[in-house]
Structure 1
Amino acid sequence: MKRTAKTLIGIACATGLVAASSNIALAGSADRFKGHMSLLADDLLEGRDTGSKGHDFASLYIASELTKLGIMPAGDAGSYYQMVPFKQATIDMKASALSVSNGSESIDFAFMDNMLMSADINETDTQITAELVFAGFGIEAPFLNYTDYEGVDLRGKVAVILSDRPHSFPSEEGSHFRRQISHALVKHGAIGAIVLSTPVSENVFPFEKRKLYVRTPRTRWVDANGSVFEGFPELKAGATLSVEAGKQLFELAGLDLQTYFDKVENGEPIEGRPLGLSATFTSKSAHTATTSPNVIGIMEGSDPVLKHEYIVLTAHSDHIGISGHSVLKDKINNGAMDNASGVSTLLEIAHEISHSAVKPKRSVIFAFVTGEEKGLLGSEYFAHYPPVPVHSMVANVNLDMPILTYRTDEMIAFGATHSSLETPVREALLKHEIKLIDDPMPEQAIFVRSDQYSLVKQGVPAVYLVPGMSNQEENAIGMPASDFLKKHYHMPSDDLNLPIDYEWAAKFVDINFEIVMSLANAKQTPSWNEDSFFATFKQAQDGKP
């Protein structure tokens, strides 16, 4: 086809206008993103702790933003708020103790020195004495043909378990079965558990860091019948021991704990056995009740049939509040990256969808959930009391702690390989010349530690995207994720003084927007891969064996 100079100039100008328009859009998104962050991570919100006024203020801001975008409320009684009722328990450290005896010798473990106990969510006063039985990792995983309970009698006894899992387990499936240990203990008749720190758990969540959370109230949500969800009243006692304290306990039983650590490291099987020990647990807890809102909005799909299927977008709006016992001068945990960045990303995705010339065919739910830092509680409540039938929620895109302090040419998509969601993820990343990489830290069990897991357990395919762990260039300006995790994660320094790259944040928004729109407009309903373990949750929802 013959092209005149005038035509070529026109094409060049049009191309330039598209590029300029794209740059303007990114700049606008970057500015709005910065505005969201400036409010959500401000000291005024005092760290957005679940149930606090600061979190209530954040929720009000989110609801007002959804109103401006014309996104319909989907909470209680026509509002944006889904109020989540919580029960909280705080332990009295001075009145709580653990003593272990072999009949002739005993050890009194020291609270906050080498032993930690959690508050009892069910009882205010607890005192029990019971035999101790070693039960390996305490895992029962029929899908992986594995159990730690064969030949182990735990009825009326306290299980002693390692804070680890077989290293042969796939990362995400293994993480799920570790989260199900309390269910397995109850099934096998245990009345409590002592968890032994291991070299692996020390690397993931050191005992010294666990101490920082002892004063934080243990929190669970309450169901429509007034019962504590997964409160496990059958488990009347529990404690966590440091590595050295665990070795002392095994030595009291005439055993060498290091031998078991070596077996785990070498992939050798470990067998449960009675320890010939008894333990006496004493604890006192105080109980309170509170509520905190999920903020939920819905944009109806444009297709008369597909609009009855829902793409669910989630981001947790809470953080950990004020560190009242910290020795630091700054005690406010602002949670800029965790998770003001995720909330800001979701608000900007909502903005892009609402202003898009192409409307999503499927409906989109925007869920800003509370209580993630307490154990994924707000998303669990949402998943059990959804605004639409759970079987109509066909995909979830979660946004949690994208560390936007550096640029990278890599992304991690937790959960993507388990479902058809992998395809739109790869397509969006390819468009932006970004590589999809494997989980570089499987020991962290990320897939079951954020809100998508609550929906996965209800059968909803999910993906959770975060930037890769290294800078794009060797001399790039910015703070890599590894530095953030070591120095700022769950610390007051996770604040607006971090070198946040708002242009990169806008690009992260665009990537997730493209994934969401691809899911919303796909001809085929998103689905689990048939060979994925997590497909079993969907099969259970559908009543299939």
Structure 2
Amino acid sequence: MKPFKSVLAAVLLPLLCIPAVNAASPERFKGHMMLLADDLLAGRDTGSIGHDFASLYIASELQKMGVQPAGDNGSYYQVVPFKQSTLDMESPKMVVSKDSDSIEFEFMQNMLMSADINRESSSVSGELVFAGFGIDAPYLNYTDYDGIDLTGKIAVILSDRPHTFPSEEGSHFRRLISDSQVKHGAIGTIVVSTPTSEKVSPFEKRKLYVKTPTTRWLDKEGEVHNGYPQLQGGALLSIEAGKQLFGMAGMDLAAIYEKIENNEPLTSMPMGLTATLEKKSVLSETTSPNVIGVIEGSDPLLKNEFIILSAHSDHIGISKNSVLKDKINNGAMDNASGVSTLLEIAHEFHHAKEKPKRSIIFTFVTGEEKGLLGSEYYAEYPTVPIENIVANVNLDMPILTYRTNEIIAFGATHSSLESTVSSTLLKNEMKLIDDPMPEQAIFVRSDQFSFVKQGVPAVFLVPSMATEVKDALGVSPQTFLAKHYHMPSDDLNLPIDYEWAAQFVEINYAIARDLANTPERPSWNSDSFFATLGKK
């Protein structure tokens, strides 16, 4: 370990000695990026030594700035306990039977499984029941569970949602499928890909993540949060395998896909089939820190309210299935850029002539890539009363390889944050634009949603992704998403524009400052569904 620490010290010491200035600094921003996206950190996987060193660096920067610790026991850290499960790649087996006929689906060919977070060996058998999309959404007057009995049975569902659903609300209810299945007595789930899901997350790409450990956080009683032990087995089928399954039941999956496209209702029903799903998993436990600091507000009353700024510090580590020579996923844009932005915002707040009226919490969360786990843990166990957190601004994957005068604030239309963000941008000669890809439901897919579920109005800020850029001069958002997202090439070799990065810091600082100084507490719009999610 001594050589490793010596090399790390050689990297850290020059960065820690960068002279402080009051404004956002392109050089200081680059210094953060040089460490956070270096090969030495091996992709900052949750629970890894690389992520631990990234967290140490973040905490040391906050200490150097004079930002006060706001973690547990007077420290900068909130240590999150995790349980992890890795799939035994030789073990998955799925056999479907009808009378004396049976089909065994081939793992890693037309069927995928993930590790079981609850048990080392799992085996479940039961009747198959088609349950549409598996969605139970009273708010949208929709359910797939009428007229069927799932007690002790395995649900077969489609990896999609009704196309008439509002995208963000629909994605939220899709995330609650496991809750719905447990509520209705299911003991397992078979998910079938659809043409729509293939466009968003292709079956072939999902194969790349099968070896990735399943990770969940443990509550204060040591229980797995959202472990769903009642669901004893699960599998994902490709479209062709789905057609084979439905064909065995005498059902036409292509006709069902057509119904989805035509917005026609689906009919849930028993399929007349039985299935057995088996697998083995290797269980372990680890920890990984959230890093938290606070700058106390100046107003005697408003300082007891908090604006929480967040960015995830983890990434996806080292690729296990990649055929590329470079297997380290450095995560420069995802999310070293967001962390660097937040560190520079903290620097500006600390050196500002006037302190903000409300207090500002800086949260660098772990486990985002595992399912928003670190932010979810913090939102469940906040280090200040959750009712005193009045707004969240999240920074996740700002792609800083091109310039724009337009900013997206995912989720802004649901709360009064839209007005503040828009007016601040205008003062800074920037423009707030509408979500250019509402079908992606980005608002429910990053760390801000952990706070939304606790009733906190939130926005997720990124530069416009509709900008056209000639890749000879930069890397366009479209090119980044197609060629570099969650790939080893998301590294410091990208043409990162550090002058623009510093300007992006200034924009975000201005938004956070205005939110902290606005007399009125931010609030949800009365007609927003997300206003209903907070704790009662």
In structure 2, C-alpha distance between the alignment counterparts of 1:291 and 1:126, rounded to whole Å: 25
Question: In structure 2, the residue corresponding to 1:54 is in which secondary structure?
Answer: helix
Q: Tell whether the 8 Å contact from 2:292 to 2:364 is kept in structure 1 after alignment.
A: yes
1:110 aligns with 2:90: no
Residue by residue over 1:77-99, the C-alpha shift from the partner in whole angstroms, topping out at 9 and shown as x without a partner, is 11101110000011112111111
Q: Which residue of the other structure, out of 225, 228, 243, is the alignment partner of 1:232? A: 228
Structure-1-length-normalised TM-score: 0.93
Q: 1:215-226 to 2 correspondence within 5 Å?
A: 215-226=211-222
Q: Which residue of the other structure, out of 374, 378, 386, is the alignment partner of 1:378? A: 374
RMSD, matched Cα: 1.4
In structure 2, C-alpha distance between the alignment counterparts of 1:386 and 1:354, rounded to whole Å: 23
Q: Post-superposition shift, 1:122?
A: 0.7
Equivalent position of 1:139 in the other structure = 135
Q: 1:164-175 to 2 correspondence within 5 Å?
A: 164-175=160-171
Q: Post-superposition shift, 1:41?
A: 0.2
Q: Which residue of the other structure, out of 280, 286, 311, is the alignment partner of 2:282? A: 286
Q: Which residue of the other structure, out of 499, 502, 505, is the alignment partner of 1:503? A: 499
In structure 2, C-alpha distance between the alignment counterparts of 1:208 and 1:72, rounded to whole Å: 46
For 2:276, the aligned partner's letter is T
In structure 2, C-alpha distance between the alignment counterparts of 1:472 and 1:215, rounded to whole Å: 36
For 2:190, the aligned partner's letter is I
Q: Post-superposition shift, 1:472?
A: 6.1
1:71 aligns with 2:67: yes
- What is the number of residues matched between the two proteins? 516
For 1:308, the aligned partner's letter is N
Q: Which runs of 5+ in 1 are unaligned?
A: 1-23
For 2:59, the aligned partner's letter is A
Q: Which residue of the other structure, out of 385, 388, 391, is the alignment partner of 1:389? A: 385
1:247 aligns with 2:243: yes
In structure 2, C-alpha distance between the alignment counterparts of 1:96 and 1:279, rounded to whole Å: 13
Q: Which residue of the other structure, out of 50, 56, 59, is the alignment partner of 1:54? A: 50
Equivalent position of 1:483 in the other structure = 479
In structure 1, C-alpha distance between the alignment counterparts of 2:471 and 2:249, rounded to whole Å: 54
Q: Tell whether the 8 Å contact from 2:297 to 2:303 is kept in structure 1 after alignment.
A: yes
Q: Post-superposition shift, 1:468?
A: 1.5
Q: Tell whether the 8 Å contact from 2:407 to 2:430 is kept in structure 1 after alignment.
A: yes
Q: Tell whether the 8 Å contact from 1:197 to 1:243 is kept in structure 2 after alignment.
A: yes
Residue by residue over 1:459-507, the C-alpha shift from the partner in whole angstroms, topping out at 9 and shown as x without a partner, is 1100001111233677993211111011011110000001111111112
Q: Post-superposition shift, 1:355?
A: 1.1
Pick the structure with greater CA Rg.
1
1:453 aligns with 2:449: yes
Question: In structure 1, the residue corresponding to 2:533 is in which secondary structure?
Answer: helix
Q: 1:305-320 to 2 correspondence within 5 Å?
A: 305-320=301-316
In structure 2, C-alpha distance between the alignment counterparts of 1:472 and 1:131, rounded to whole Å: 51
For 1:457, the aligned partner's letter is K
Q: Tell whether the 8 Å contact from 1:105 to 1:252 is kept in structure 2 after alignment.
A: no
Q: Post-superposition shift, 1:446?
A: 1.4
Q: Mean alpha-carbon deviation: is it higher for 476-485 or for 297-306? A: 476-485
In structure 2, C-alpha distance between the alignment counterparts of 1:106 and 1:518, rounded to whole Å: 64
In structure 1, C-alpha distance between the alignment counterparts of 2:453 and 2:391, rounded to whole Å: 12
Q: Tell whether the 8 Å contact from 1:408 to 1:470 is kept in structure 2 after alignment.
A: no
Equivalent position of 1:4 in the other structure = none
For 1:152, the aligned partner's letter is I
Equivalent position of 1:21 in the other structure = none
Q: Which residue of the other structure, out of 194, 199, 202, is the alignment partner of 1:198? A: 194
Q: Tell whether the 8 Å contact from 1:407 to 1:472 is kept in structure 2 after alignment.
A: no
Residue by residue over 1:154-190, the C-alpha shift from the partner in whole angstroms, topping out at 9 and shown as x without a partner, is 1111111111111111121111111111111111111
Structure-2-length-normalised TM-score: 0.94
Q: Which residue of the other structure, out of 322, 326, 334, is the alignment partner of 1:338? A: 334
Q: Tell whether the 8 Å contact from 1:98 to 1:108 is kept in structure 2 after alignment.
A: yes
In structure 1, C-alpha distance between the alignment counterparts of 2:444 and 2:466, rounded to whole Å: 23
